[in-house]
Amino acid sequence: MTDFRIMLREDFILRNPLLTASGTYGYGDEIADLIDPELYGGIVTKSISLEPRVGNPPPRIAEVTSGMLNSIGLANIGVDKFLEEKEEFLAAYNGKVIVNIAGRKDDEYVQVVKKLSDRQWVAAFEINVSCPNVSEGGIEFGRDPLILGQLVKRLRHATDKFLIIKLSPNVTDIRVLALAAQENGADAISMINTVYGAAIDIHTRRPKLNTVVGGLSGPAVKPIALAHIIKTYKGVDIPIIGIGGISCGADVIEFLLAGAHAVQIGTANFFNPKVCGEMLDFIEQYCTENKISCLRDIIGRVEV
């Protein structure tokens, strides 16, 4: 049997490198009857903000070739209701619980982190500074390395839990942001969030999203994600969690070879609820055929 464990920090070890992607798996309990969360190495929750957010008006999801567009606008129940309604389920989960956090300003991020830091079941925070479809906050923090660094430094002082910064591809050079995150105390970076995209209904001549432009996810963005990871891997000393169009076990292997220590599965869960189990089976077979005893041995081993 292959050792699937991945160590991201001495006190943070994933039982396997597969995580859910924020915004595609709810808070874990809503779709547990369809997708067994225990197959995953961890759950990354839907974004949580200090106060509840209604999000953008519909239509806010559209299917496109090789993916989907979304403009949810970080709709969520807020941190207090999150604790009230979701804590029991998440505290009983055997994998890592990674809480994704969104905010309009630094103080909101910090307050949410402080509210959750004393919960033992919270293993890590993923800080969303890269949402392309909100009018305040979101990607604004993830465009400027100075602003990002200041936010990461404040969050590092607020918690000793594993801290992940989620980066956007919608910037000039993602490596600059990755270094800013690392230099100010991040334990890992996750990349990439969605790419700007739009679609038009040719019959109504109207955009398919209310906000016109949204975030593109799914297989179409996989080559973009891989390119960013390959470029960033040798420039940082902290782990990378890969995201973007991962739909099968071969995709997972590609991301690990590119330099990702773990990956997040998002859009694939919508069209194949069994995808996680299928990925694990493929990875085991691949490792057996290639005499790989530890999955971590192939991280960053792409021949470039």
Which residue type does 194 have?
T
* Residue whose structure tokens are 């969520």: 76
Which residue type does 210 have?
N
Give just the sign of the alpha carbon dihedral 268, 112, 86, 122: positive
Distance of CA 303 to the CA centre of its chain: 26
Torsion angle, alpha carbons of 232, 235, 239, 243, to 10: 0
Among 267, 244, 51, smallest CA distance to 130 is for 244
One of 131, 276, 287, 294 is an active-site residue; which one?
Answer: 131
| Cα distance between residue 260 and residue 181, in whole Å | 16
243's tokens: 């995201």
Among 123, 116, 177, smallest CA distance to 151 is for 177
- The answer to whether residue 131 is catalytic is yes
Q: Which residues are catalytic?
A: 131
